Amino acid sequence: MKKALFQIFVISSIFSLLVAPCFGEALQDFEGQEGTIKIAGGTAHISVMKEAAKQIMTRYKDIVVTVAGGGSGLGIKQVGEGLVDIGNSGRKPKPEEIEKYKLKMFKWAIDGVGVVVNPANKVQSLTKNQLKDIFSGKIDNWSVLGGVKHAITVYTRDEASGTRAVFWKKALDKENISTKALFVPSNGAMKTAIANDPYAIGYVSVGHMDETVAPVALDGVTPTLDNVKSGQYKIARGLYSNTKSDPSGLTLLFINYLFSSEGQKIALEKGFIPVK
């Protein structure tokens, strides 16, 4: 018994020795570094940022990476004012923002924005015009669309949201969103709201979708990773990490890590399309 345990121990040690260098290849640049990287902004980015932070922090105890949300607008503003090192945005920063804050943009993944409803909802396919009518309040009952007889609850995001900006421009063609729409402050909160409300409709980053919400096909195309990748699903955007002027030190290492094969793998695992 003891011998068997010992053998397992030896084998697993050898195995981990063999495997360890393969992980963290891109992480090695962080060797001997210490300090803090502060990240804020886009809420679609958070899952990838957290995973990257975890990888770095478990290996290098002297580095601290903090990740916060707040929305794309906040990310751009905070990085521009030097409050954080990296400001994420789910939309391309506007020319005046780039000009004003001397932003350098790093687009490390592509993400779709998809319409979602509660999985219990039978209506899981809409035309673009129906979608516009729902969001503007012209269609206000699911029964009109072949669903249950109950008022539709429209959920939207605040103006700082990059997800909203992209959705409004590419899915609603900049048409009105009803003043009755409920507001939620992040992609995560949107998902929770839709998952808990059987009469809800909203929109989230494709990378955030899971079995708690049901994607809605738009003009016959379902918002999935593959459809975004092939270009069939048109409502897509880049995920940007922005820095004030050229990044240096730990911030540069972190950006490099996002573009390394490992960082790109994290992006893929979290449901986004890596750029490389």
Partner 1 sequence: MSNTKEIIARNVFFLSAIASAVMILAILVLMIALGIPLFKAGNFLAIWTGPWAPHKGLYGIWPMISGTLWIALLATALCMPLSLGASFVITSLGGPRLRRMLGTMVRFMTGIPTVIYGFVGIFLLVPLVREGIGGPGMCVLTAGMVLAILISPTMILFVTDSLLAVDLSYVQAAKALGANRVQRLLYVMVPRATGGMAAGIILALGRALGDTLIALMLAGNAIQAPRALLEPARTLTAHVALVKAADFDSLEFRSIFACGIVLYLFATTATVAVRVMLRKREVPT
Binding site for partner 1 (CB under 8 A): 70-71, 73-74, 77, 97, 151, 153, 158-160, 179-185, 192, 196-197, 199
- How many angstroms from the chain centroid is the CA of residue 234? 17
**Between 57 and 199, whose beta carbon lies closer to partner 1?**
199
CA distances from 98 to 77, 87, 185 (A): 11, 12, 24
Distance in Å, CB of 17 to partner 1, minimum: 45
Least distance (Å) from partner 1 to the CB of residue 158? 4
CA-to-CA distance for 103 and 41, rounded, in angstroms? 14
Q: How far is the CB of 115 from partner 1 (least distance, A)?
A: 18
Nearer to partner 1, 195 or 217 (CB): 195
How many Cα atoms sit within 13 Å of 33 on the Cβ side?
Answer: 22
Cβ proximity to partner 1: between 70 and 263 the closer is: 70
Provide, rounded to whole angstroms, the least separation between the CB of residue 257 and partner 1: 26
Closer CB to partner 1, 199 or 274, in the complex? 199
Q: How far apart are CA 24 and CA 46, in angstroms?
A: 21
16, 17, 18, 99, 237 from 10: Cα distances, Å: 10, 11, 12, 58, 48
Q: Are 127 and 221 in contact (CB under 8 A)?
A: no
